[in-house]
Structure 1
Amino acid sequence: MIGANAGRLRSERRISQSELARTLEVNRSHINQFEAGKQNVSIDYLVKIADGLDVSVVEFFSGLGGASPRRIVEKEE
C-alpha cells in the first residue's frame, strides 16, 4: 500500500518512473517494483523518494489508518 501511494503521488505530479529514477539515481525497475509492492524499502529510501516527489514521508502512509506494520504487509500479500 505504501508503494501504491507513492505511485499515485508520482502520477498526480505527472512524473514518470524513469524521470523519478533519474532524479534518485536508481534503476527504473526499483521504482516499479516498489510501487507494485514487490520490494520492501528502508526508511532512508522512502525519504529519498519523498524528496524526489517533493512530498512528506507521511503522505506515503495516508489511508493506512492505525494499522500495524504486520497488518499492512498482510494486506499487500
Structure 2
Amino acid sequence: MNENREVLKLVGARIRALRKERGYSQESLGEKGGFHFSYIGQIERGEKNVSLVNLAKIADSLDVNLIQLFAYIDEVTETTESEKQITSIVELLRESNPANLKLIKKIIQEILEK
C-alpha cells in the first residue's frame, strides 16, 4: 500500500512541476481541465487516486502527452546543462509541423553519423 502512495505522490509532484513551469495556479489549471482547484491540490499532494481519464484531461490542460505525467522528477537531483538543452529542443520540436520534423530528423541523423 505504501508503494501506491509513493506513485500518487510522484505523479502529483510531476503535475505540480509542470503546472508551475507554465505559470498556472491550481485554480487556472482546474478551470482548463474542468476540475475544482481543491481537487488539483489533492492530486498534487498525492491524496487522490486520480483516474486515467482525469489524468488525460490534466495532461491536455498542461499541453503535454499523458506519458509525460509519469516522467517523475527527483527534486534533489540537479538538471545538467545537457538535459536542459535537450528539454529546450524537445519543446521546439513539439511546436513544429510534420514536414519540418522530417527535415530536422534528417539533419540530426547526418550530424550524428559524422
* TM-score, normalised with respect to structure 2: 0.54
State the Cα deviation string for residues 48-71 of structure 1 (Å, max 9, x = none).
00000000111111138xxxxxxx
Within the candidate set 47, 66, 72, 1:38 is matched to: 47
Q: Give the counterpart of 2:34 among 25, 32, 35.
A: 25
Structure label with greater radius of gyration: 2
CA distance in structure 2 between the partners assigned to 1:33 and 1:63 by the alignment: 18
1:6: Cα distance to partner?
Answer: 0.6
Stretches of structure 1 that go unaligned for 5 or more consecutive residues are 65-77
| Counterpart Cα distance in 2 of 1:23 and 1:37 | 20
- Show the counterpart of 1:73: none
Q: Which stretches in structure 2 are left out of the alignment for 5+ residues?
A: 1-9, 74-114
Instruction: Tell me the equivalent position of 1:59.
Output: 68
> Which runs of structure 1 show a deviation greater than 3 angstroms over 4 or more consecutive aligned residues?
none
Code of the residue aligned with 2:30 in structure 1: it is A
Percent identity of paired positions between Structure 1 and Structure 2 = 41
Which of the residues 7, 10, 15 maps onto 2:16?
Answer: 7
Shift of 1:25: 1.8
